[in-house]
Amino acid sequence: MKVFAVIPAYREAGRIEKTIASVLSYVDGVIVVDDGSPDTTAEEARTTGVRVLRHRVNRGQGAALRTGTEAALRLGADIVLHVDADGQHDPTSIPTVLEPIRRGEVDVVLGSRFMGEEAQGMPATRRLLLIAGRTFNAFAVGVPRRVTDPQSGFRALSAAAARRLDFRQDRFAHCSEILRLVTRGEYRWVEVPVRIIYSADSLKKGQKPWDAARIAWQLFLGAFAR
Amino acid sequence: MLIQLILVGTMVLALIMTWRRFSERVVSLREALFWSILWLAAASAVMLPWVTSRIAQFVGVGRGADLVIYASVSILFLLVFKLFVQHEKLERKLTELVRHDALRDLVDSTSSPREK
């Protein structure tokens, strides 16, 4: 089975090469989508020899993921793997994420930080925010409470699922949107434990507590913008 | 009262502007008529406050002026929300354009040297 990793990247100069190198040994191809970074993210990614697509204007992580997913499908991917560019997703978890699809058991695999694999360096505020996010997802977005991680970006899709999954949230709300589409649609899905490594850098760039309100607003607006 | 004069004066100006735009063919006859009715209705409400007071009493609001303010805030809220939705739709169209442009760089025939 041909596996393509899609890495959306914005302002990841200095980090992107390392992330690509760590992911490459687990997949058949990597597609980096540079989301209009003003720095040298795209140039650095190109030096690794993987495919690099570029959004001329910054459109957000969700938009970049969708561009990369479409590219992977056009290149004949059987499995599309979504990985963050900042190195938070421990590449040694990749085989765990891919395995259920390889075995033909499910269409979508969602990586979770709360299933036993201890996240490295996760601040208490982030943990609290994620617990609140889970409750919000259950009540406002309609994601079942058995989904343990409300904001995981570490996931794999079979080609058929990737083709059908019509996620349109351009910015951070895409995580909740994908969860809703997957858990409420006719997909076979499973959550698996993944290891996340938080660093000072990734925390600085990552989501802030007040982003939760922004995500809620984007999801609400998205319901009217179809 | 002075406030009535100022408000009616503004509406008369708006009416004149509307028909001027019609003569310049910027707005259609239908649009001009719609706006004229709106301005005239507003002017009538200002000149004959008992009309709005009667309506206000009917719907359970104390004064006619309050009714006008409540209605204006509601309408403004709806308009702003509509603008937000339109903005979101535009953003999505922009994303589609940017994506289309990015995917043009994808050359299907030759594989990247790092692909297995």
Kindly list the distances between the CA atom of residue A9 and the CA atoms of A15, A172, A189, B67, B113, in Å, as whole numbers in the listed order: 10, 13, 26, 52, 21
pLDDT recorded at residue A145: 86
Q: Choosing among B86, B98, B104, B111, which should be mutated to test the A contact, i.e. which has the most A CBs within 10 A?
A: B98
Q: Give A196's DSSP letter.
A: B
Taking CB atoms and an 8 Å cutoff, what residues of chain A touch B103? 53, 67, 70-71, 74
Confidence of residue A209 (pLDDT cuts 50, 70, 90): low
For A166, the token pair is: 């019509």
Confidence of residue A139 (pLDDT cuts 50, 70, 90): confident
Determine the 3-state secondary structure of A123 from DSSP.
coil
Q: Convert the pLDDT of each residue in A21-41 to its tens digit.
A: 999 999 999 999 999 999 999
pLDDT recorded at residue A11: 95
Q: What is d(CA A119, CA A89) in angstroms, rounded to the nearest whole number?
A: 10
Does the distance separating the beta carbons of A56 and B92 come in below 8 Å?
A: no
Kindly list the distances between the CA atom of residue A222 and the CA atoms of A68, A174, A177, B115, in Å, as whole numbers in the listed order: 21, 10, 10, 36
Interface residue B85 vs chain A (CB under 8 A): yes
Taking CB atoms and an 8 Å cutoff, what residues of chain B touch A30? 114
Chain pair A-B, CB pairs under 8 angstroms = 73
Task: Name the minimum distance, in Å, from the CA of B83 to any CA of chain A.
Answer: 11
Average pLDDT over residues A101-112: 97
For B3, the token pair is: 């406030």
Give me the residues of B, 92-111, that contact A with CB < 8 A.
Answer: 92, 94-95, 98-99, 101-103, 105-106, 108, 111
pLDDT at residue A78 is higher than 50: yes
The ipTM value here is: 0.89
pLDDT at residue A45 is higher than 90: yes
In the sheet that A29-34 helps form, which strands lie side by side, from edge to edge?
Answer: A51-54, A29-34, A3-9, A79-82, A155-158, A108-112, A189-193
Average pLDDT, chain A: 91
Average pLDDT over residues A166-192: 93
pLDDT recorded at residue A63: 98
Interface residue A46 vs chain B (CB under 8 A): no
Q: Which of A30, A53, A60 is opposite residue B102, by nearest beta carbon? A: A53
For B45, the token pair is: 């409400």
Q: Convert the pLDDT of each residue in B34-44 to its tens digit.
A: 999 999 999 99
> Do residues A182 and A164 lie in contact, with contact meaning Cβ atoms separated by under 8 Å?
no
Helix (H) or strand (E) holding A163: helix A159-164
**Position of tokens 């719609």?**
B34
Taking CB atoms and an 8 Å cutoff, what residues of chain A touch B101? 55-56
Taking CB atoms and an 8 Å cutoff, what residues of chain A touch B89? 225
Kindly list the distances between the CA atom of residue A215 and the CA atoms of A47, A59, A72, A151, in Å, as whole numbers in the listed order: 35, 15, 27, 11
Confidence of residue B109 (pLDDT cuts 50, 70, 90): very low
Query: Who contacts A213 (Cβ-Cβ below 8 Å, separation ≥6)?
Result: none
Three-state SS sequence of chain B: CHHHHHHHHHHHHHHHHHHHHHHCCCCCHHHHHHHHHHHHHHHHHHHCHHHHHHHHHHHCCCCHHHHHHHHHHHHHHHHHHHHHHHHHHHHHHHHHHHHHHHHCCCCCCCCCCCCC
Q: Convert the pLDDT of each residue in B43-61 to its tens digit.
A: 998 899 888 888 888 888 8
Average pLDDT, chain B: 90
What chain B residue is nearest to A221 in terms of C-alpha separation? B85
Taking CB atoms and an 8 Å cutoff, what residues of chain B touch A67? 98-99, 102-103
Q: Convert the pLDDT of each residue in B60-73 to its tens digit.
A: 888 888 888 999 99
Average pLDDT over residues A132-148: 84
How do the residues of chain A divide into helix, strand and coil, expressed in percent and rounded to 5? 40, 15, 40
> Do residues A197 and A120 lie in contact, with contact meaning Cβ atoms separated by under 8 Å?
yes
Confidence of residue B113 (pLDDT cuts 50, 70, 90): low
Does the distance separating the beta carbons of B89 and A33 come in below 8 Å?
A: no
To 10 degrees, what angle do helices A211-224 and A174-184 make?
A: 60
Phi, psi of A197 (to 5 degrees): -115, 115
pLDDT recorded at residue A5: 98
